[in-house]
Amino acid sequence: MTNTADLSPLGKNSAYRTDYAPELLFPIPRQGKRDELGLKGTLPFFGVDIWNAYELSWLNMRGKPQVAVAKITFPADSPNIIESKSFKLYLNSFNQTRLANEEALRSLMVQDLSAAAGASVHVVITLQEDFARLAMGELEGLLLDRLDIDVDNYAPQPEVLKANFDDLPVEEVFISHLLKSNCLVTGQPDWGSVQISYAGPQIDQESLLRYLIGFREHNEFHEQCVERIFTDILRHCKPAQLAVYARYTRRGGLDINPWRANYSTGLKPSNLRNARQ
């Protein structure tokens, strides 16, 4: 596949189709950015990308509009990510499409998204009568943002990360709401909260917060930022166990929440929507 971000619908005028059009999906290979991180062969993590679609609508067979919320889970080892604007255009293509029921919609989404991602994708659709069951909650952990630090760098610098390799290993969970990066193509800001859980040499909290703030002027997609954070911490702080989970605010009715871990007992992503989402 030769799809690259600059060829995607991002930053371009787009016709909004309202009839079912799976060809609108624009997959981008993950490996290009992983090559930048030196990730070849067996990945040092497993995980998922959880997408929540809040603007999902279609017509029933009598032409009456239906609305729902969808949770879409992509495996981190899928060959491709889906460019987010193309995902939005694809979802819009259901707006005037008549379908028998939500299961018919779910089946189409599983089929189309799995084909685009190159791996099995899981889709859960919540109908409006069940909206009250969609809970909210905040990431748990020690808040790094409480630290009163000086910052003068806004590009990722993994070399600032520090850990204490002389004392006994520890287990800790940190959170920060200061994660901000920019869209790889348009430069528009992407706002997020991040949770880092690990076991190993104690990570210096101030250095970790400076490192995270360093994404503030960095251009990369959500999934790529989380993999960069995971890889940099793993290499420079050498934890035996590591999990990184980011909750990004929505754009175009979609939020993207990547989770990467190297141990099966880590904090699994709950998909609780936080206050900023």
Tokens of residue 213, six digits = 């703030």
Measured CA to CA, the distance from residue 164 to residue 254 in angstroms comes to: 39
Q: How many CB atoms lie within 10 A of CB 35?
A: 11
Tokens of residue 7, six digits = 């060829």
Measured CA to CA, the distance from residue 19 to residue 231 in angstroms comes to: 41
Measured CA to CA, the distance from residue 164 to residue 170 in angstroms comes to: 10
Measured over the CA atoms of residue 180, residue 153, residue 210 and residue 83, the dihedral's sign is positive
Tell me the sheet residues that pair with 176. Answer: 194
Tokens of residue 267, six digits = 């904090």
222-237 and 205-213 helices, crossing angle to 10°: 150
Burial 39-49 (b: 16+ CB within 10 A, else e): beeebebebbb
Instruction: Please name the residue ranges forming H helices in the chain.
Output: 31-36, 84-92, 102-117, 205-213, 222-237
Q: Which residues are catalytic?
A: 183, 190
Length of the chain: 277
